[in-house]
Amino acid sequence: MSNSWFSNLLASSKEEQRRELSFVDEHMYQQLVERMLEGLLVVDNEDVIKYVNPMFCQMLDYHESELLGKRGYDVLLRSEDRERILKKTLNGSKAW
């Protein structure tokens, strides 16, 4: 009986350690991305901006709220380049 109790205690301790490590890993990753000196932009499959780190905002002189939810190509490309790329993309050819 005591052996079962001890096994349960060890199992719960290991699960707790895994959760703590997961939190630490996630926190370290978040700190790395937030503090790195490179700009980071994350878009979904529709090119909608989902995340920008502070350096990306600083590089483009935008506030995060001005970028989130917008299409990446609307922010990053000049209008004539955007139109050319979108036209080629819609026609099935390579944009570049």
**Which has the closest alpha carbon to 49: 58, 61, 40, 38?**
40
- Kindly report, residue by residue over 49-90, the tens digit of the pLDDT: 999 999 999 999 999 999 999 999 888 888 888 888 778 777
- Kindly report, residue by residue over 14-38, the tens digit of the pLDDT: 667 667 667 667 888 888 889 999 9
Q: What is the CATH topology of the domain spanning 37-96?
A: Beta-Lactamase (3.30.450)
User: Checking phi first, is residue 69 left (phi over 0); if not, alpha (psi -120 to 50) or beta?
Assistant: left
pTM greater than 0.85: no
> 10 Å Cβ neighbour count for 19?
10
Share of the chain above pLDDT 70, in %: 72
| C-alpha–C-alpha distance, residues 48 and 70, integer Å | 5
